[in-house]
């Protein structure tokens, strides 16, 4: 699986945002392609295949954009694509609040613009025991955090999805307590794997996948990946999170992928990779233990599920 | 027109049309699901769609079979009893299809995992219970079996369908993540059909 750490990424590999946002024109630019500044799907596939015990073939873009859990746009898997088709993500503002030097609203560009764009192909493991392999584009959350200038007392970062039932029809029903909130410990948020995605498959992030800005934490269950983020709040106390609030016995704050701790109602030992027939074994921390396990040393992962 | 005269007029029509209608009800969803599967119209997770679809049809038909006795009582149409058998067997076959999807497509005969799943996860346990209870009912659905067992004991045996229906609803409810709307609807329908029986219990005995 492709995991590129910051020190692996040469400045020559960083895609300028203007180019990235205008991919169609960019693809036509043979010179830029020659620089290899963006990984083609084939290259990603080759990279993902190296050194892996699992067959991490990319999930088809069609599947990844039509099989979604995004209750703000309906509770069936095929609802979000259909019900989000009129959603206009731009212009977008993110309120930065709590323990920061200056709480204030950031425009999308102020928050994300000119940050090094990352190409990351990650396994995505849903708590419902299915999984995908998705090529994301985005920025490292730690770069965004630096722009927010948190105060030394900040220990957690809470992230909130837009609440606007007119634009998000699923919010007219109380399927979950709105707005959707997720949070990370600050060290988790600062981990180089943690991404704020703005695109996937080399295209701007589709509405049904959380446009314009969503969290990607590949070693945690998918529900941690809060979508359409409008608020970042830095705090010293562990924030409440939506699924943990809704069903505390089934969904924990940490939600690290763990094959040896079952969901109370179903096994987490195996998963179905979308597009494949036979189930495959689920890996501890979704296969990212080398990068993240040290953050949980000494923690009872059975208790802090 | 009084209700009674309406029923008298409607009876021959319903009696003639009901069996073809029920066959359509039972077979059409299977044709649709198989066609969708072959035409790749079941989305990214076709197995899940087949599993959910077959389970829901089993539950719908089970609820429909439970509705026959109250209908017989309301209409006085004794011949409906044959439709009860038809719907009960149809529910059994859809439940069998549901279980087959689970064993063959979902787990591909991974018996270790299947047995673990049945023993450790209560919603699967309850689902298996719902199915297993239907087996003796399907086996004793023939006229010969009724004669052999005797009407009273046959009626007692077939009360197992109440347990099976409740177990099926619980299985559905416990299997969803948070979206309990559908399980609640099915649960409410089955609960009303069972409540009707309790309500009528003191009245004149009708075959269950």
Is A304 among the domain residues? Answer: no
Whether residues A215 and A279 share a domain: the answer is yes
Give residue A14's domain range. Answer: 8-38
Judge whether residue B191 has pLDDT over 70. Answer: yes
Whether residues A102 and A249 share a domain: the answer is yes
pTM, to two decimals: 0.80
Give me chain A's average pLDDT, please: 85
Judge whether residue B183 has pLDDT over 90. Answer: yes
Is A145 among the domain residues? Answer: yes
Whether residues A49 and A15 share a domain: the answer is no
Asked which of A39-43, B9-13, B122-126 is least confident by mean pLDDT, the reply is A39-43
Residue A54 phi, psi (nearest 5): -95, 155
Is B115 among the domain residues? Answer: yes
User: Which pair of structure tokens corresponds to residue B155?
Assistant: 């009626």
Whether residues A27 and A120 share a domain: the answer is no
Nearest to B108 among A66, A175, A278 (CB): A278
Nearest to A77 among B43, B117, B124 (CB): B43
What does the pLDDT read at residue B51? 95
DSSP A246: H
A80 vs A6 pLDDT, higher one: A80
Give how far B165 is from chain A: nearest CA, Å: 20
**Per-residue confidence at B204, pLDDT binned at 50, 70, 90?**
low
| Start-to-end Cα distance in chain A | 24
CB contact under 8 A, A67 and B47: no
What does the pLDDT read at residue A280? 93
Is B205 among the domain residues? Answer: no
Give residue B194's domain range. Answer: 3-200
Is A305 among the domain residues? Answer: no
Tokens 């704020």 correspond to: A196
List A203's β-bridge partners, or say none.
A200
Nearest to A67 among B43, B47, B123 (CB): B43
Contacts of A8 (CB under 8 A, 6+ apart): none
Contacts of A282 (CB under 8 A, 6+ apart): A125, A129, A131, A257, A259, A268, A269, A270, A271
Whether residues A121 and A225 share a domain: the answer is yes
For residues A224 and A217, is the Cβ–Cβ distance under 8 A?
A: yes
DSSP A198: E
Whether residues A129 and A234 share a domain: the answer is yes
Nearest to A66 among B43, B48, B174 (CB): B43
Compare all CA atoms of chain B with the CA of A266 and give the residue at the minimum distance.
Answer: B121
Domain count, chain B: 1
Tokens 């007692």 correspond to: B156
Judge whether residue A47 has pLDDT over 80. Answer: no
Q: What average pLDDT does the segment B194-207 reach?
A: 76
Whether residues A21 and A80 share a domain: the answer is no
Is A249 among the domain residues? Answer: yes
Is A17 among the domain residues? Answer: yes
CB contact under 8 A, A78 and B110: no
For Cα atoms B144, B145, B146, give the angle at the middle one, nearest 5 degrees. Answer: 90
Whether residues A133 and A249 share a domain: the answer is yes
Judge whether residue A52 has pLDDT over 50. Answer: no
CB contact under 8 A, A67 and B177: no
User: Which pair of structure tokens corresponds to residue B107?
Assistant: 């787990």
CB contact under 8 A, B44 and A77: yes
- Is B117 in CB contact (< 8 Å) with chain A? yes
Q: What average pLDDT does the segment A63-70 reach?
A: 96
For residues A236 and A100, is the Cβ–Cβ distance under 8 A?
A: no
Here the CATH number for the domain that contains residue A96 is 3.90.420.10
CB contact under 8 A, B120 and A267: yes
CA pseudo-torsion sign A246, A249, A251, A253 = positive
Whether residues A26 and A87 share a domain: the answer is no
Contacts of A55 (CB under 8 A, 6+ apart): A49, A273, A276, A280
**Per-residue confidence at A22, pLDDT binned at 50, 70, 90?**
very low
Nearest to A130 among B45, B105, B175 (CB): B45
Whether residues A244 and A170 share a domain: the answer is yes
Q: What average pLDDT does the segment B51-77 reach?
A: 95
pLDDT tens by residue, B108-143 = 999 999 999 999 999 999 999 999 999 999 999 998
Residue A189 phi, psi (nearest 5): -65, -35
ipTM tops the 0.90 cut: no
pLDDT tens by residue, A203-220 = 999 999 999 999 999 999
CB contact under 8 A, B45 and A77: yes
What does the pLDDT read at residue A299? 87
- Is B41 in CB contact (< 8 Å) with chain A? no
A48 vs A135 pLDDT, higher one: A135
Domain count, chain A: 2
What does the pLDDT read at residue B203? 59
What does the pLDDT read at residue B40? 87
Is A199 among the domain residues? Answer: yes
Interface test with A, best of B37, B40, B45 (most A CBs within 10 A): B45
- Is B115 in CB contact (< 8 Å) with chain A? no
Give how far B175 is from chain A: nearest CA, Å: 7
Whether residues A172 and A135 share a domain: the answer is yes
For residues B135 and B88, is the Cβ–Cβ distance under 8 A?
A: no
Is A301 among the domain residues? Answer: no
**Per-residue confidence at A106, pLDDT binned at 50, 70, 90?**
very high
Residues of chain B contacting A66 with CB distance shorter than 8 Å: 43-44
Is A255 among the domain residues? Answer: yes
B169 vs A266 pLDDT, higher one: B169
Is B170 among the domain residues? Answer: yes
Whether residues A20 and A66 share a domain: the answer is no
**Per-residue confidence at B2, pLDDT binned at 50, 70, 90?**
confident
Judge whether residue A43 has pLDDT over 70. Answer: no
Is B207 among the domain residues? Answer: no
Q: How many separate helices (H) and strands (E) can be counted in chain B? A: 9, 0
Asked which of A26-40, A231-245, B71-85 is least confident by mean pLDDT, the reply is A26-40
What does the pLDDT read at residue A19? 44
């Amino acid at each position: 699986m492709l995991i590129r750490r910051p020190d692996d990424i040469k400045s020559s590999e960083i895609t300028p945002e203007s180019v990235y946002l205008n991919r169609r024109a960019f693809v036509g630019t043979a010179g830029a392609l020659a620089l290899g500044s963006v990984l083609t799907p084939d290259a990603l596939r080759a990279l993902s295949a190296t050194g892996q015990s699992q067959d991490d073939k990319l999930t088809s873009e069609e599947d990844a954009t039509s099989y979604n859990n995004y209750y703000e746009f309906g509770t069936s898997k095929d609802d979000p694509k259909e019900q989000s088709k009129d959603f206009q993500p731009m212009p977008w503002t993110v309120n930065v609040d709590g323990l920061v030097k200056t709480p204030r609203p950031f425009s999308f560009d102020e928050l994300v613009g000119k940050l090094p764009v990352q190409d990351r192909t990650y396994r995505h493991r849903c708590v419902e025991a299915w999984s995908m392999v998705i090529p994301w584009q985005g920025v490292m959350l730690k770069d965004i955090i630096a722009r927010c200038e948190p105060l030394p007392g900040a220990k957690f970062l809470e992230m909130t999805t837009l609440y606007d039932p007119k634009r998000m029809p699923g919010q007219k029903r109380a399927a979950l307590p709105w707005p959707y909130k997720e949070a990370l410990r600050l060290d988790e948020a600062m981990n180089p794997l943690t991404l704020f995605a703005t695109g996937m498959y080399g295209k701007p992030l589709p509405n049904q996948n959380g446009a314009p800005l969503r969290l990607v934490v590949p070693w945690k269950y998918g529900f941690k990946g809060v979508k359409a983020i409008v608020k970042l709040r830095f705090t010293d106390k562990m924030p409440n999170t939506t699924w943990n609030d809704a069903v505390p016995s089934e969904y924990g704050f940490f939600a690290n992928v763990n094959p040896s701790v079952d969901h109370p109602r179903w096994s987490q030992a195996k998963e179905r990779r979308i597009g494949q027939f036979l189930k495959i074994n689920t890996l501890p921390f979704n296969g990212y233990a080398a990068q993240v396990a040290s953050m949980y040393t000494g923690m009872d992962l059975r208790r802090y599920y | 027109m009084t209700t009674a005269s309406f029923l008298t007029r409607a009876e021959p029509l319903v009696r003639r049309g009901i069996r073809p209608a029920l066959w359509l009800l039972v077979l059409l969803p299977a044709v649709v699901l198989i066609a969708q599967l072959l035409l790749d119209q079941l989305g990214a997770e076709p197995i899940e769609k087949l599993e959910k679809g077959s389970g829901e049809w089993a539950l719908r038909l089970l609820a429909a079979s439970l509705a026959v006795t109250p209908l017989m009582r309301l209409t006085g149409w004794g011949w409906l009893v044959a439709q009860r058998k038809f719907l009960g067997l149809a529910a059994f076959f859809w439940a069998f299809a549901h279980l087959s999807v689970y064993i063959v497509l979902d787990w591909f005969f991974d018996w270790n995992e299947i047995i673990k799943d049945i023993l450790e996860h209560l919603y699967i346990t309850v689902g298996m219970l719902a199915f297993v209870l239907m087996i003796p009912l399907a086996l004793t659905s023939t006229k010969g079996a009724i004669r052999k067992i005797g009407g009273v004991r046959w009626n007692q045996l077939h009360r197992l369908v109440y347990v099976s229906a409740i177990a099926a609803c619980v299985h559905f409810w416990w299997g969803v993540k948070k979206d309990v709307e559908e399980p609640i609807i099915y649960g409410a329908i089955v609960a009303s059909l069972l409540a009707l029986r309790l309500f009528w219990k003191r009245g004149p005995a009708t075959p269950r």
